[in-house]
C-alpha cells in the first residue's frame, strides 16, 4: 500500500505544476508550439521551412480491416470497463479467481470469422492474439504506450508498446505483454508472454503498400481441479479459511500450456488508378493483393501422476500434447470505382496439419495420429457508401478439401443524422467443428476419440439489428439458429458416482436446433458531474436438451462522478459498479482439454459483484485504483466462476496507462 500512495503523490504533484493538457491544441502551419506540455508532441518539418501541425490524431492505429482510428488518451467509463487483463470490455465474461485463468461465458457470440476449424482448447485462447486482432501504426513521432496493473500475490502485469518510424511511409512497432500471478488459492499460478513486432509501409506514389507482423505467444497455468471440500471450507464462511491458500484443492501436480508462433504478410499493388483531387482516394483503380499467414501452435497438458478424477490412465505420468500448423496464401484483385463501389475477388490456398505423436488402437476403433490436407476456397467482398448509407457484403466458400466451409456476412447501415444510426446485418456459416472435437488423444483412457466420419458441419444462421442513438441509447437485438451444435459434456451412458463426471467427458453433436434470442441495451443518464451508466442483456435459448447454458439476465450499472482539478490539469472519475447475472447451470471447466463443458446438475450465479473505483488522468497518464468485489467482505461465500471454481474475493488493485511522445 505504501508504494501505491507514493506513486499517487508523484502523479498528483505533477498535476499541481501542470497548467494545461499536454495534447497540443491545433495551431497554424509555421506557428511555434506554446507551453511546455505542447512540446511533448514535437512538430514535423516539411521539405520547406514550414512546420507541420501535430495533434493526437497524427498517431494512427490501423486494424486488420484497414479501418483507422487514433490514439485515445482520455478517461471515460468505457476505459474503466476495458482496463483489465484482456484490455477489452468483459461484460459477457466471468473471470476466474486469478489473472490469466479462463473466463466462463455469460453471453454467447456465435458468429464465426473463419471457415476452417481451430485447434481447440478454447478456454486457453482468451489472451491469445489472433492475426485479425493485431494493429498496425502510423505515427508522427515515436510513441510509447505502457500499461501496468497489480495481480494476485507475487506478480505484476505489464503491457508495453513502442511505435516509431524511419519516415512518414515506413512505421514499426514492438509490443510485449507479460504477467505472472501466484493466485490466492493453492497451485493456481498463471503466467504468459505475448510478443509482437509489426511494420507498415507505403511507397511515395501510394501504389504499393505492405504490412507484416511476427507474433510469439506462450501462456501457462497451473491446474488444481478446483476445491476439494467447498461446502465445509469455502461456503461455510469459516474464518479459519479466510486465507484461501489453506483450502484443499483436488490436485497440485498439473499444468497446461498454449504456445504459438505466427508470421503474417499482407501487401498490395495498384495496377492502375486515377487519384481523386484530394489525393487520398482513387476514383477508378485495380489493385492486386497477396496475404500470407503461417502459424504453428501446440496445446499441452502435463501431470506428474495420473488422478482417478479423470478416470483410468495408460501411464502413471500424463503428458498430452497436440500440434496444429497452418499455411494460408490468399491472392486477390479489387476493382474500385467512386460510383460503383469496391468489389474484391480472392482465392485462398490453405494447408493444415493437426497431429499427435502416436497412433492409438482402442477396444472400439483405431484413432489416427494426424489430420492433414489442402483446401482451396474462393470469395468476394463488396463495399459501397452513398451519403449516410453503407452496404457491405462478403462471401467465402471452399471448393476443394475435406473441411468444406462457407461464410456469408452482409450488413446495411444508415446514419439518419449525427445522433441516430441504424444497422441490419446477417450471418450464415457452415464449417466443421474444431479439431479437438474431431480427433483427440490423451494418456487418460476416456479422452480418446475420432469423429471425422460421423460429425457433421455446424450450421449457423442469424441476423442482428443495431440502433445507436445519443438520445435513446444503444440497442442490439440478435437471433441465431444453430444446427449440429457441437459441445463437450459427460457421457450420459456411463454410470457415475458423485463428482466423477470429469472421467467421462466427450464431444457430442446436438441433433435438434438450438435457437438463441439476445437483446443488449446501453444507456447513460447524466446530471451535472454525476452519471449512471447502464448495460442490460436478456437472453433466451430454445433447445430440446440443455446444451447451450446462459443466464437469462446480465446487468452492469455504474454510478460515478467526474470533475476537473488543479486548474483542469487533472481529470478524475470515481464511482461504484454493480454487476449481476441470474442463476443458471453454468458451464464447468475441464483442465485436461482446456475447455468448458455443459452440465445440468448445479445452478450458480444470482450474486452481486460490487467494485469501487477512482480513476484519474494527468497529462498522458491514466491512474486506476479499484476495490474489487468489496461486498464479499459481508456476503455469503456463494460466488463461483464455474462449478468448483470460486470467483475472486475482495482485493484492492492499482495500475496505470502511460503514454510518452518523442
CA triple 395-400-403, angle to 5 deg:
80
Instruction: Work out the mean pLDDT of the chain and round it to a whole number.
Output: 89
What's the confidence (pLDDT) of residue 500?
A: 76
Give dist(CA 510, CA 614) in Å, integer.
Answer: 47
Q: Residue 180 pairs with which residues in a beta bridge?
A: 191
| Residues 233, 234, 240, 241, Cα dihedral to 10° | 110
626, 652 contact by CB (below 8 A):
yes
Confidence of residue 603 (pLDDT cuts 50, 70, 90): very high
What's the confidence (pLDDT) of residue 556?
A: 98
Give dist(CA 55, CA 604) in Å, integer.
Answer: 50
Question: pLDDT: is 264 or 385 the higher one?
Answer: 264
Q: Cell numbers at residue 410, please?
A: 452482409
Minimum mean pLDDT among 35-44, 432-441, 553-562: which range? 35-44
Q: What is the pLDDT of residues 617-638, one digit of tens each?
A: 988 889 999 999 999 999 999 9
The b/e string for 68-78 (b: 16+ C-beta within 10 A; e otherwise) is eeebebebebe
CATH code for the structural domain at 2-661: 2.40.170.20
Q: What are phi and psi of 502, to 5 degrees?
A: -65, -20
Quick one: DSSP state of residue 6?
A: H
For 136-186, give the DSSP string.
Answer: EEE-SS-EEEEEEEE-SSS-EEEEEEEEEEEETTEEEEEEEEEEEE--SST
Beta-carbon count within 10 A of 564 CB: 12
Beta-carbon count within 10 A of 526 CB: 10
Q: Cell numbers at residue 500, please?
A: 466423477
Above pLDDT 70, what percent of the chain? 90
Quick one: DSSP state of residue 91?
A: T
Q: Residue 478 pairs with which residues in a beta bridge?
A: 464, 518
| 3-class secondary structure, 85 | coil
What's the confidence (pLDDT) of residue 103?
A: 97
Q: How many Å is the maximal CA-CA distance in the chain?
A: 84
Q: Residue 76 pairs with which residues in a beta bridge?
A: none
Q: What is the pLDDT of residues 110-137, one digit of tens each?
A: 888 899 999 999 999 999 999 999 999 9
What's the confidence (pLDDT) of residue 596?
A: 97
Give dist(CA 484, CA 63) in Å, integer.
Answer: 33
Mean pLDDT to the nearest integer, 388-415: 93
Q: What is the pLDDT of residues 171-225, one digit of tens each?
A: 999 999 999 999 999 999 999 999 999 999 999 888 999 999 999 999 999 999 9
Confidence of residue 51 (pLDDT cuts 50, 70, 90): low
How far, rounded to the nearest angstrom, does the alpha carbon of residue 216 sit from its chain's CA centroid? 17
How far, rounded to the nearest angstrom, does the alpha carbon of residue 165 sit from its chain's CA centroid? 28
Confidence of residue 42 (pLDDT cuts 50, 70, 90): low
For the chain, give every domain's residue range.
2-661
Amino acid at each position: 500500500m505504501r508504494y501505491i500512495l507514493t506513486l499517487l503523490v508523484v502523479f498528483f504533484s505533477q498535476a499541481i505544476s501542470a497548467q494545461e493538457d499536454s495534447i497540443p491544441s491545433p495551431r497554424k502551419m509555421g506557428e511555434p508550439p506554446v507551453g511546455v506540455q505542447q512540446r511533448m508532441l514535437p512538430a514535423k518539418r516539411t521539405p520547406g521551412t514550414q512546420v507541420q501541425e501535430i495533434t493526437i490524431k497524427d498517431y494512427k492505429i490501423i486494424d486488420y480491416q484497414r479501418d483507422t482510428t487514433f490514439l485515445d488518451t482520455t478517461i471515460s467509463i468505457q476505459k474503466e470497463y476495458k482496463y483489465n487483463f484482456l484490455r477489452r470490455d468483459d461484460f459477457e465474461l466471468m473471470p476466474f479467481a486469478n489473472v490469466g485463468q479462463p473466463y466462463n461465458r455469460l453471453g454467447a457470440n456465435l458468429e464465426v470469422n473463419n471457415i476452417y476449424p481451430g485447434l481447440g482448447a478454447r478456454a486457453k485462447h482468451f489472451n491469445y492474439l489472433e492475426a485479425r486482432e493485431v494493429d498496425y501504426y502510423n505515427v508522427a513521432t515515436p510513441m510509447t504506450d505502457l500499461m501496468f496493473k497489480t495481480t494476485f500475490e507475487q506478480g505484476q502485469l505489464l503491457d508495453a508498446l513502442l511505435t516509431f518510424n524511419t519516415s512518414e511511409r515506413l512505421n514499426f512497432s514492438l509490443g510485449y505483454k507479460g504477467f505472472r500471478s501466484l493466485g490466492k488459492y493453492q497451485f493456481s499460478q498463471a503466467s504468459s508472454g505475448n510478443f509482437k513486432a509489426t511494420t507498415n509501409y507505403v511507397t511515395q506514389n501510394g501504389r504499393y503498400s505492405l504490412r507484416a507482423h511476427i507474433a510469439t505467444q506462450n501462456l501457462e497455468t497451473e491446474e488444481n481441479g478446483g476445491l476439494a471440500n467447498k461446502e465445509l471450507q469455502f461456503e461455510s464462511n469459516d474464518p479459519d479459511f479466510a486465507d484461501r491458500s489453506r483450502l484443499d484443492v483436488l490436485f497440485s501436480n498439473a499444468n497446461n500450456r498454449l504456445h504459438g508462433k505466427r508470421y503474417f504478410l499482407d501487401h498490395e499493388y495498384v495496377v492502375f488508378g486515377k487519384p481523386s483531387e484530394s489525393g487520398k482516394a482513387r476514383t477508378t483503380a485495380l489493385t492486386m493483393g497477396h496475404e500470407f499467414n503461417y502459424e504453428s501452435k501446440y496445446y499441452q497438458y502435463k501431470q506428474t501422476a495420473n488422478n482417478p478424477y479423470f478416470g483410468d490412465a495408460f501411464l502413471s505420468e500424463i503428458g498430452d500434447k497436440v500440434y496444429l500448423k497452418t499455411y494460408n496464401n490468399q491472392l486477390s484483385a479489387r476493382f474500385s470505382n467512386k460510383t460503383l463501389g469496391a468489389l474484391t475477388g480472392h482465392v485462398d490456398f490453405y494447408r493444415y496439419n493437426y497431429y499427435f505423436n502416436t497412433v492409438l488402437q482402442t477396444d472400439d476403433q483405431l484413432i489416427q495420429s494426424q489430420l492433414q490436407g489442402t483446401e482451396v476456397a474462393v470469395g468476394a467482398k463488396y463495399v459501397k457508401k452513398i451519403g449516410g448509407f453503407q452496404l457491405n457484403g462478403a462471401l467465402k466458400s471452399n471448393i476443394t478439401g475435406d473441411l468444406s466451409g462457407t461464410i456469408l456476412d452482409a450488413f446495411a447501415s444508415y446514419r439518419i443524422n449525427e445522433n441516430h444510426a441504424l444497422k441490419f446485418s446477417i450471418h450464415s456459416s457452415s464449417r466443421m467443428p474444431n479439431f479437438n472435437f474431431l480427433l483427440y488423444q490423451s494418456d487418460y483412457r476416456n479422452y480418446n476419440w475420432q469423429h471425422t466420419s460421423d460429425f457433421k458441419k455446424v450450421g449457423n444462421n442469424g441476423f442482428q439489428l443495431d440502433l445507436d442513438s445519443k438520445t435513446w441509447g444503444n440497442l442490439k437485438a440478435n437471433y441465431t439458429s444453430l444446427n449440429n451444435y457441437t459441445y463437450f459434456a459427460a457421457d450420459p451412458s456411463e454410470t457415475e458416482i458423485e463428482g466423477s463426471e470429469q472421467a467421462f467427458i466427450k464431444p457430442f453433436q446436438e441433433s435438434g436446433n438450438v435457437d438463441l434470442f439476445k437483446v443488449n441495451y446501453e444507456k447513460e443518464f447524466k446530471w451535472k458531474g454525476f452519471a449512471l451508466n447502464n448495460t442490460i442483456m436478456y437472453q433466451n435459448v430454445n433447445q430440446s436438451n440443455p446444451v447451450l447454458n446462459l443466464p437469462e439476465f446480465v446487468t452492469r450499472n455504474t454510478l460515478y462522478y467526474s470533475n476537473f482539478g488543479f486548474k483542469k490539469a487533472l481529470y478524475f472519475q470515481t464511482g461504484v459498479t454493480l454487476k449481476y447475472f441470474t442463476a443458471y447451470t453454468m458451464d464447468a471447466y475441464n483442465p485436461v482439454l482446456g475447455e468448458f463443458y455443459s452440465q445440468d446438475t448445479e445452478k450458480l450465479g444470482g450474486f452481486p459483484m460490487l467494485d469501487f473505483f477512482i480513476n484519474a488522468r494527468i497529462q498522458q497518464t491514466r491512474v486506476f485504483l479499484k476495490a474489487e468485489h468489496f461486498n464479499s467482505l459481508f456476503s455469503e461465500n456463494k460466488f463461483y466462476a464455474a462449478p468448483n471454481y470460486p470467483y475472486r474475493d475482495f482485493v484492492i488493485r492499482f495500475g496505470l496507462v502511460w503514454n510518452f511522445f518523442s
